[in-house]
Structure 1
Amino acid sequence: MHGLKTIVTVLAMMLPAVGIAAGPPDRVVSVNLCTDQLAMLLARPGQLISVSHLAADETISLMSAEAVGLRINHGLAEEIFRLEPDLVVAGKYTTRATVNLLKRLGKHVEEFDPARSFEDISENTRRMGGLLGEEDAAERLVKQMHLELMRLHAEGKALNRPILGSFGSNSYTSGAETLENDIVGKAGFRHLGDEIGIRGTTRLPLEALVLANPDYLMIWDRHRANQSRSASVLSHPALDARFGEERRVSADTRYWICGTPLTVDAIQRLRDAVRGSSAE
């Protein structure tokens, strides 16, 4: 009995060190656009003290208005450390030097994989809710998203599933195992990248795109507005000759760039864009 009491005492002393008894964090910093938006959706007032500068960019963030009033960071370890956060949330593949240094300095850092499907969005939302102590709020968001997915699925059964491809700056496109693929599929279309055996995000030669000849070609509005050399392929004569305006679809980048419960709106928006393009 004496030995058991000693073990319990030692464990109790260890709990604060491993954060088990600490409770939800009071000072949270996000350094990634996608974790920014998840945290803004779930954090209680005053809990989230800083988000990345991308969160305030209205061209890529759906929650730029919500970022007003929060301190903006640029993913630098020194600026984040001075904020004295209890928790830092980051993307798996961004700000690597910052994440590694903060960990070495003893900060609690949680990294999120990018969402490649709506199931991933559910998982990341629940995980963020757990980290912030907002499990119920996270579950409500996930439930609401899945109800909307069910509604959209029921409405999309009558679609004849035409093929839709995407094309962006530097000739990039996506295929299987991407969030884009899941959105396109749930909107009732077959994804060109999936059809021709592409996985992930990669470059697709313009010639291959023209030969594949999908029914519709989707170009994100952010790429359309890009005047750089990398976007010049989007105004190539071959592209214009193959895909007239009635077969081009403009997509709002903000709904596709990050996987959050807000992404579900991309499905209806894509359907509406295709219908509007076809009617022109």
Structure 2
Amino acid sequence: MSTNMCSDILLLMLVPKDRIASITYLAHDQVEVLMPGADAGVAINHGSAEEVVAQHPDLILASPWSASAMRRLAGKVRAPLIEIEAANSFDDIRRITRQVGRAVGEPGRAEVLIAEMDAKLALLDRDRPTRPIEVAAWSSGDTVPGAGTLTDEIIRRAGAVNLARRMPDASYSTFGVEELLAARPDAIMRGEDRYDGPALRDAVSEHPAIRKAYAGRRISYPASLYACGLPQSADAALQLRAALAKVPQGGVRW
């Protein structure tokens, strides 16, 4: 039983459906982006005590934020609980994938996923772009990830430079439309929960000044591959590399 969206996706990659008691109700949209149909027929949960007792799982995967409450429930059904931390690097992804692989009895499958990820990263490292492009992972401006985040690592492995590293707070910064335009990154990255359109919270990125200044310079990306540490996060770096190659040369003009 998985009670965290990130472990939901990893669990679906590691074990067959008939071994999964349930995944969270949050998983479906992300699974449709990454592995369409992979969750078909799998029960969902909302992390409630009633669901834990009714499903009586042999193992519970939880985030550190939900672990304390979930641990009490796990004790009632006598199921071990594994805390899955957030990943901020590809090293973290390797560690977490191995952790979950061992917990569910699929260490070999975990190593296959890691090997596939590492092959993609090696491909990126062999063919570094000669033209450095500065990007901002900016949608609403509320949180712009900088150094020490998985987003920053994906940007770096894609061969780009993360604007947020210029900010006073290296990990997470905030800035609005005016600040973004003044900073003049070469491109803007906009996270989407699904590929069929941005979320309402990203409406500010449709500001007329942004649309004008960054026409042909706005890159959409699957938010789950940047928020969750998954082997497919290497695919995110490959996708970003390909998108950056299409960014017009020369600085932003308006």
User: Above 0.5 in TM-score?
Assistant: yes
Report 1 or 2 for greater relative contact order, CA contacts < 8 Å, sequence distance ≥ 6.
Answer: 2
Within 5 Å, give how 1:215-254 maps onto structure 2: 215-222=186-193, 225-227=198-200, 230-241=201-212, 243-254=213-224
Residue number in structure 2 paired with 1:41: 13
| TM-superposed deviation, 1:167 | 0.8
| TM-superposed deviation, 1:246 | 2.1
Partners of 2:32 and 2:168 lie apart in 1 by: 29
Within 5 Å, give how 1:253-272 maps onto structure 2: 253-272=223-242
Amino acid at match of 1:187: A
Structure 2 unaligned residues grouped into runs of 5+: 250-254
| TM-superposed deviation, 1:188 | 0.2
Amino acid at match of 1:208: E
Partners of 1:233 and 1:45 lie apart in 2 by: 39
| TM-superposed deviation, 1:155 | 1.4
Runs of 4+ in 1 over 4 A off after TM superposition: 58-61
| TM-superposed deviation, 1:59 | 7.4
| TM-superposed deviation, 1:218 | 0.9
Partners of 2:168 and 2:118 lie apart in 1 by: 28
More helix by share: 1
* Aligned counterpart for 1:136 among listed residues 108, 118, 125: 108
TM-score (norm: length of structure 1): 0.79
Partners of 1:234 and 1:59 lie apart in 2 by: 25
CA contact (8 A) 1:60 1:253 kept: no
Larger-Rg structure? 1
Residue number in structure 1 paired with 2:252: none
Partners of 1:113 and 1:163 lie apart in 2 by: 29
TM-score (norm: length of structure 2): 0.86
| TM-superposed deviation, 1:48 | 1.7
| TM-superposed deviation, 1:52 | 0.8
Report whether the alignment pairs 1:200 with 2:171. Answer: yes
Report whether the alignment pairs 1:81 with 2:53. Answer: yes
| TM-superposed deviation, 1:232 | 3.7
Within 5 Å, give how 1:71-110 maps onto structure 2: 71-93=43-65, 95=66, 98-105=69-76, 106-110=78-82
Residues 61 and 193 (structure 1 numbering): CA distance in 2 closer, same or farther, change over 3 Å?
Answer: same
- Give secondary structure in 2 for the equivalent of 1:177: coil
